[in-house]
Structure 1
């Protein structure tokens, strides 16, 4: 959104005060601040007056930033990414922090308004400007802005800004939690509106941080300015190339401007060609404009068509035609719905399918998890992390509910690349408070996030939370269960806000969602349409996976070791190998920390590392003691498992399966985990297997049925696909099938049934893709256990992967 921002008063140079850059978002206050810190007492410091008598330390801070990174820069803590050093940060959970700096007032007129804007404050904070309290914060996850017009000194004056941040842990412990249900994090997290993972999760360390973790700006706004411009599509016809586009816009409109003195101008264009150009006299602070468009290109998910984007602009003009304010953004013309039922059974088959522009979409994608435990660094990881999703041809990313909300930059990338976004609200794996104060906090959060992101065409679903329903029905409360449909937060608070601000986008109360019908009839995951398939994490072809009844999988994963180079970066040299004491057969401390052990006080917690041991043994019959062999074995198991999961579902496209979102793109910390790319952006073997299994047109082989392997070609495009396919036994070189395939648009074809073979081996599947380009895939046949060396030899012989 364009604002009237001005160059700083020229006397800045004379006073020798920092000059801040002016951007489209306002005057940046990022950069070097002063950071004071002290142990929080029973009565926290919340104002400058209370600083009298407080003993504190002072260092420099970077904004955006996290306090731990400033402590690291100052040499006060060891690098928390290495070994078990992360536990050394625990005492700072009980500290307070004061960020402060000076800045010069910009040029502004008497009628202008000036706002201080924080992209992210972590978390409980009081903000003072020139000694005046201008506002409070109690939510890390949303943007905050404060009107500082009256507190700001006249142009050229030097202002002092202070932000007092209290301990999130101590604040969270002031409340008696709800009935304690299963939760990775500690119960102090449930009242605190911050990323749930920060209290500790099985994919992230406990790092209950503090800081100003996104941009801080000063924004000068004219008396009449645009508050919001929401573009959304209510109807679209792909064949006729028509769309009905709505614009709801809101402006500030002082009374003296309400006599038709202002005009709103609207344009929608693509590649320099206008589809809309019209004006409207402004008589109200809020209005709706409807455009019925012809000969337009719709926005499509990846593979299903071009993710066409239009340049949409709203301008406010005065009586002389001069621009007062404007809002420009990219929009996409598309409709989206979620065709779903509350249950699924043989007698009454269920549904869970995304429909875009009237077309059923088969989903192949992943879960988008925290980019970093220190979220001030998120933006630095975005480009590389997103490149992974794009290269793996994901057409959907699920923004997991234990995370922060991604900023516009992430959604802009998804818009431009046709990657749909499933957005959880930031709650997970527990029962959250039901009291009015918490409902009010959630309503504020949902409104803030939805209004900010709702114009992005890539955003196709809001979900109330991650696994809260499942926790109440299957968690540690068994055999006593709670009905999640009585949860007022996910069933009333969130949908009520979305009904007001974003009614055209589907809403799922929880993932997985336990409907009233499901709870009243079965309490069984056998009857749930959408599920998270974790279970015992045993052999990846156990009945838990092969006989799963769900239609759509939104979480599924398998452990895999990072590469050796990554282990040598995350561990002290003495901890890399051996990973366990030979005599006691116990994992060493650093391997436990990286597994993830949230609290050192938990002691010996080998379970997640033992998953790898067990999974390697199940596939290969033994566990190598050589580190490089163990890494290869572990990565092989993960790769074959992930490939199997994806292809099992794709091989049954729409009969009945409609998609899979595997876990997960990339680690947000140096870990041993389910991610397919580690913290250092080093891909595991699963990366390459998944890359082959997620092409738009893909030839794959499923496990034998009635003595034959089905050779299937799936087509996740809106055009028919034709090509050639050859299947070769890698060991003997025998061609077991060679022929042509034809697959209708958005369809699936069983090209051949190949007789089941005795013994073990690998089939190499060579085929031509949609554009005639050569493509490759493979299938591991036979029954486990396999000989590790023989598997390595055959995989190397395929010449599909860089196998050493």
Structure 2
């Protein structure tokens, strides 16, 4: 294929849709619309900002200035030359937000209404024979489009974003607690012209059927564009290499599609981070006629099986399950939820590599792509493939009850088939999940979650059709028939632990029945250096009754909105831990970060300490998509909060932790999330006195936990224990905070400084 980029500078005309009389590109120069230069990929708000027509939407209250533009229409215009190479030519828009009509040389060539998938148009007959062509894209208001739909009692959304229900664009843009309301528009991913070859090997589907002691059985389904007169004269050759491992297979071409199953002796398997190498085969595919290569391509493929072992419900008295097995082995999952990389998605591509660096530094082995955002592109998944990150992929449905009509089902089928076919070759992708929390919202509204045909019929049938070798979960959390019949959500084996978000060691967290925690979080203030970048000087302090703190909370309605309580929640969590709320921004910020760091560390430890009763934790969340006060452990400007370092310690493959008191003692436990029997030495001591409390040598159980011993304590104490262990020539650290709040903030800061010195090689 010959690919020609149409990215770069376009003309952009814009006007209020209500007042618009423009229905065809020929009318653009009648003086009714304003005009400016736009960048593609881009979002119209960024173009307005670059043109000096709006103020920085990331700062202060300027995001509210964008609301009138929700009702505008936008006309993108670009001229390009006809490709010199002849052939079937497609115009491909990889991301269009959202209600679009397309013209080429004055003729309408198509329409689309889905931001989340690519749109391709055959323009072979629409191009000029030579010379220049004019391409025009009209984007109309998503709000007006939503108003033309019908809304039934079976549907539901949060007060400020009912307009999301029918419109297939990233739900968070209509207003969420993690991003502001920014109902954007734009050509947010690449635009390109593709001239196809006469003979092509289209993207094959690679799959692993099973693993055995000699290697693995894999399969390849192929699809070709070729002259049928040459069927049975052509052959396909597949050559796969991964280090010293190599396989080669050939088959005769009897039709444009077919498949080949075969055994790879001594196959190098793809493993998640911590459990082995993320081995990837480069597969070179050639279509031959005799000895002549008619077409060829290269792909990568990871040989691995994935199984989700789960029960329909669980309780303290029943043996339930929610466990991922990779290549037949149980894997303990540690990771973070993936939220929008930016509130304006044309900026995602530049931010994603650096965000994934954070996941690697944290030693995550799982990334859950949350359903309120977009489907990430191949570069995201390719990095996850190489890093050994397991990707849990939600379909783009979140926190709402969507239309239950055949018209909407067909939209979902088209979207699901496109996304599944696009991403299914990535070994990192281990789970398709129907949505985020829709079962939960349905349950709370006393509607049987099992009646949701989107998650129970439409999506699983698309996966069975296009990707039958990967597991599917209907919702997160998923409420089975048994959970619904008993009207008891606490029976779900996988859950989102939010609750009242009070003291992080409350019974709500410690006594939950679930096996897998797929969302859990705690608020933490950004660093003061970041706060001064996005809060106007007159609004930086105090926090109470502060409209900018509420807006960056993120409440789309400010102090009157349903999320405006978040700032006070953060203050209450500080008071819970330290008995008082500091009266300066600097002290408030550090106290809040300590509260968040201890809470999130505890959430991971309480999960690892109960391995294999609990099998994974995906906390919320790594980084913000705009500047805000949130659960993220890294703010929008990539400035790390204290929680990042605390979580990095307890995400180590081998980690020593201390359990909560019982019978006048605490247990020291070593957890090993690898397939190796690790050996080393350890020491635990009192941070104040330096007195050694427990020490010795250890042999870590393969992929399991081992008790190291017990330490005598008193419940009246408020202490910090430092934990050090050395293994394979590396020394690692953790700590344990003993006692009930409130703690002294000044005393805690002293402990924190000591631990920082230890990690930097300074004896204390």
TM-score by length of 2: 0.97
1:516 aligns with 2:481: yes
The residue aligned with 1:253 is 226
**8 Å CA contact 2:156, 2:402 repeated in 1:** no
The residue aligned with 1:435 is 405
Rounded to whole Å, the distance in 1 between the matches of 2:273 and 2:21 is 51
How far did residue 679 of structure 1 move? 0.2
Partner of 1:587: helix, strand, or coil?
A: coil
How far did residue 280 of structure 1 move? 2.7
**8 Å CA contact 1:579, 1:591 repeated in 2:** no
- 1:245-324 alignment to 2 at 5 Å? 245-255=218-228, 257-271=229-243, 273=244, 275-319=246-290, 321-324=292-295
Please point out which of 348, 357, 364 is paired with 2:327: 357
The residue aligned with 1:243 is 216
**8 Å CA contact 2:554, 2:563 repeated in 1:** no
How far did residue 228 of structure 1 move? 2.4
The residue aligned with 1:88 is 65
Rounded to whole Å, the distance in 1 between the matches of 2:548 and 2:297 is 51
Please point out which of 624, 636, 647 is paired with 1:679: 636
Please point out which of 706, 714, 726 is paired with 1:749: 706
Aligned residues: 758
The residue aligned with 2:297 is 327
The residue aligned with 2:36 is 59
1:548 aligns with 2:512: yes
Please point out which of 444, 448, 462 is paired with 1:483: 448
The residue aligned with 1:11 is none
Choose 336-345 or 538-547, whichever is displaced more.
Answer: 538-547
Rounded to whole Å, the distance in 2 between the matches of 1:708 and 1:551 is 26
How far did residue 137 of structure 1 move? 1.0
1:366 aligns with 2:336: yes
The residue aligned with 2:131 is 157
Question: CA, structure 1 residues 615+353, in 2 after alignment: closer, same or farther (shift >3 Å)?
Answer: same
Please point out which of 492, 498, 505 is paired with 2:457: 492
The residue aligned with 1:136 is 111
How far did residue 443 of structure 1 move? 0.6
**8 Å CA contact 2:605, 2:657 repeated in 1:** yes
1:108 aligns with 2:85: yes
Question: CA, structure 1 residues 370+801, in 2 after alignment: closer, same or farther (shift >3 Å)?
Answer: farther
Partner of 1:292: helix, strand, or coil?
A: strand
Alpha-carbon RMSD across the aligned residues, in angstroms, is 1.8
1:176 aligns with 2:134: no
Rounded to whole Å, the distance in 2 between the matches of 1:386 and 1:737 is 37
Rounded to whole Å, the distance in 2 between the matches of 1:755 and 1:525 is 38
Please point out which of 537, 546, 557 is paired with 1:588: 546
Partner of 1:322: helix, strand, or coil?
A: strand
**8 Å CA contact 2:312, 2:480 repeated in 1:** yes
- 1:656-735 alignment to 2 at 5 Å? 656-735=613-692
Rounded to whole Å, the distance in 1 between the matches of 2:140 and 2:402 is 22
The residue aligned with 1:469 is 439
**8 Å CA contact 1:116, 1:218 repeated in 2:** yes
The residue aligned with 1:227 is 202
Partner of 1:278: helix, strand, or coil?
A: strand
1:194 aligns with 2:164: no
Question: CA, structure 1 residues 604+146, in 2 after alignment: closer, same or farther (shift >3 Å)?
Answer: closer
How far did residue 323 of structure 1 move? 3.5
The residue aligned with 2:496 is 532
1:607 aligns with 2:591: no
Partner of 1:344: helix, strand, or coil?
A: coil
Partner of 1:311: helix, strand, or coil?
A: strand
The residue aligned with 1:17 is none
How far did residue 795 of structure 1 move? 2.0
**8 Å CA contact 2:242, 2:268 repeated in 1:** no
Please point out which of 73, 76, 90 is paired with 1:99: 76
The residue aligned with 1:14 is none
Please point out which of 545, 549, 558 is paired with 2:522: 558
Q: Deviations over 1:286-326 (max 9, x none)?
A: 110112111121000000001111101222234551333x3
- 1:640-655 alignment to 2 at 5 Å? 640-654=598-612
Partner of 1:70: helix, strand, or coil?
A: helix
Question: CA, structure 1 residues 432+42, in 2 after alignment: closer, same or farther (shift >3 Å)?
Answer: farther
Question: CA, structure 1 residues 283+197, in 2 after alignment: closer, same or farther (shift >3 Å)?
Answer: same
Rounded to whole Å, the distance in 1 between the matches of 2:209 and 2:644 is 38
Rounded to whole Å, the distance in 1 between the matches of 2:36 and 2:479 is 50
How far did residue 54 of structure 1 move? 6.8
How far did residue 708 of structure 1 move? 1.4
How far did residue 119 of structure 1 move? 1.0
How far did residue 278 of structure 1 move? 3.1
Choose 721-730 or 273-282, whichever is displaced more.
Answer: 273-282
1:506 aligns with 2:506: no
How far did residue 435 of structure 1 move? 0.5
Q: Deviations over 1:267-292 (max 9, x none)?
A: 11123x56222333322111101121
Choose 80-89 or 543-552, whichever is displaced more.
Answer: 543-552
**8 Å CA contact 1:561, 1:672 repeated in 2:** yes
**8 Å CA contact 2:95, 2:188 repeated in 1:** yes
Q: Deviations over 1:723-744 (max 9, x none)?
A: 1111000001000001122222
Rounded to whole Å, the distance in 2 between the matches of 1:763 and 1:232 is 49
How far did residue 542 of structure 1 move? 1.2
How far did residue 223 of structure 1 move? 2.4
Please point out which of 546, 555, 568 is paired with 1:597: 555
Question: CA, structure 1 residues 371+213, in 2 after alignment: closer, same or farther (shift >3 Å)?
Answer: same
Rounded to whole Å, the distance in 1 between the matches of 2:706 and 2:224 is 54
Choose 546-555 or 245-254, whichever is displaced more.
Answer: 245-254
The residue aligned with 2:49 is 72
How far did residue 48 of structure 1 move? 2.7
The residue aligned with 1:22 is none
**8 Å CA contact 2:199, 2:294 repeated in 1:** no
**8 Å CA contact 1:241, 1:297 repeated in 2:** no
1:382 aligns with 2:352: yes
Choose 492-501 or 720-729, whichever is displaced more.
Answer: 720-729
Question: CA, structure 1 residues 503+647, in 2 after alignment: closer, same or farther (shift >3 Å)?
Answer: same
How far did residue 627 of structure 1 move? 1.2
Q: Deviations over 1:615-674 (max 9, x none)?
A: 0000000000011111110000000000011001100110x1000000001000011100
Rounded to whole Å, the distance in 2 between the matches of 1:383 and 1:346 is 42
Rounded to whole Å, the distance in 2 between the matches of 1:108 and 1:466 is 46
**8 Å CA contact 2:546, 2:559 repeated in 1:** no
Rounded to whole Å, the distance in 1 between the matches of 2:451 and 2:494 is 20
Partner of 1:402: helix, strand, or coil?
A: coil
Rounded to whole Å, the distance in 1 between the matches of 2:462 and 2:310 is 22
1:38 aligns with 2:12: no
How far did residue 361 of structure 1 move? 0.5
Question: CA, structure 1 residues 297+603, in 2 after alignment: closer, same or farther (shift >3 Å)?
Answer: closer
**8 Å CA contact 1:368, 1:664 repeated in 2:** yes
Rounded to whole Å, the distance in 1 between the matches of 2:562 and 2:174 is 20
How far did residue 526 of structure 1 move? 2.2
Rounded to whole Å, the distance in 2 between the matches of 1:189 and 1:46 is 25
Rounded to whole Å, the distance in 2 between the matches of 1:302 and 1:69 is 37
Rounded to whole Å, the distance in 1 between the matches of 2:730 and 2:652 is 12
Rounded to whole Å, the distance in 1 between the matches of 2:198 and 2:528 is 60
How far did residue 254 of structure 1 move? 4.4
How far did residue 45 of structure 1 move? 5.0
Unaligned segments of structure 2, at least 5 residues = none
How far did residue 258 of structure 1 move? 4.2
Partner of 2:210: helix, strand, or coil?
A: strand
